[in-house]
Structures are given as structure tokens and as C-alpha cells.
Amino acid sequence: MGNHIYYARYLDILEEARGEFFRALGHPLLALQGADVIFPVTEVALKYLAPARYDDLLRIEITVRNITRVRLTLGSKIWRDATLLVEGHTTHVCTSCDEKPKRMPIELAEKLQQYLEPNSTDVG
């Protein structure tokens, strides 16, 4: 009702985009899980600027805002054409499958560095 996407659905959209982002890095989430590495979300913040409508073609941007040995903050933006609809971030902790914090695989951390936003922090 209302010809707009329900606000909580943006989290689903961003989760799918994160999965595609990791796949594009050459580290699909399922492969990471098989290597005993997962990234649970510890924080999420979204700012809704305009609604997406049913059947809109959306563009999702994922960037790296902060990366440490065990934490990762990803920036996200959802666009319809030139209109920014939603912006925000998710913070993740790198853990084993039994949810114990662990260092992020070095190869993955190096690939994520390429997507670090200008003026972001990398505290290694």
C-alpha cells in the first residue's frame, strides 16, 4: 500500500548488495563461511531521503568506511537515477562461525582497501 518500499526492506536490499560486493572481490560469503569466517552486523544506521517505488530500478553503492583487523564498516547508498533515496552504514565484526572474534583474512583486507572512502580510517 502506498506504492513505496517498506522501510525495513532496504536492509534486505543492502544485505544482498553486500553479498554481491564480496563476490565481486573474489570472496563470496559462502566461501568465507566455509573458511570459518563470517561478518555479523553489530550496528546499522539508515537515513531515508526519498521513497523507492514498486518496479523502480535501483543502484546500490557499497564503500568501505573503516577497516581494522576485526571490524569493517561499509557505507551504502541507494539511488534511483540521480536521486539519492537512502544512505547509511553497517558495521561488522569478523568472527569464526562460533562467533568468536578473529582477524580478517589478510587477502580480503587488502582487497577491501581498494574501496576505502577518502578521509576514512584504516587503523590496521
Residue 67 to residues 36, 84, 85, 113, 114, Cα–Cα distance (Å): 19, 25, 25, 8, 11
**What pTM value is reported for the model?**
0.90
Q: Give residue 3's pLDDT band: very low, low, confident or very high (50, 70, 90).
A: confident
For the chain, domain boundaries: 9-122
Query: Can you tell me the mean pLDDT for 63-77?
Result: 97
**SS3 at position 58:** coil
Architecture of domain 9-122 in this structure: Roll (3.10)
pLDDT in tens, 21-46: 999 999 999 999 999 999 999 999 99
* Cell numbers placing 33: 563461511
